Amino acid sequence: MQTYDWSTVPLEQLSPQAARKVIHTGRMTVARLWLKAGAVVPEHHHENEQITMLAKGRLLFYMEGGVHTVNAGQVMVIPPNVPHRVEAIEDSEATDLFSPVREDWRRGDDAYLRGGGSK
């Protein structure tokens, strides 16, 4: 068994509008993300199933030809390999779960997040 304390997990400043803290386990990645209003995560896709639990704010998810609004207290499930783009309508805080592990994040191969995108 492993115990983590979010206060000791390093904060990664991905861009002026986005930051995250990440924990990788043997089979999953857990991340806390902070997006400022106007932040955009460009369209991307990954082999991982993703669950986004929004604690604060409002996000728009563009996928499968539509726009899905996720408000604080709601959960979005994104199946593997589905292209999606995210826009923060308000300052937002989310916890994302990924299975399997986000190996691209572990390798630092996540330039799409580090582009400083904003609307």
The continuous run of DSSP H or E covering 88 comes out as strand 84-88
pLDDT at res. 111: 84
Tens digits of residue pLDDT in 89-112: 999 999 999 999 999 999 988 888
pLDDT at res. 38: 97
Residue-range domains of the chain with CATH: 17-113 (2.60.120.10)
Distance (Å, rounded) from C-alpha 98 to C-alpha 104? 12
Q: DSSP characters for 19-57?
A: EEEEEE-SS-EEEEEEE-TTBEEEEE--SSEEEEEEEES
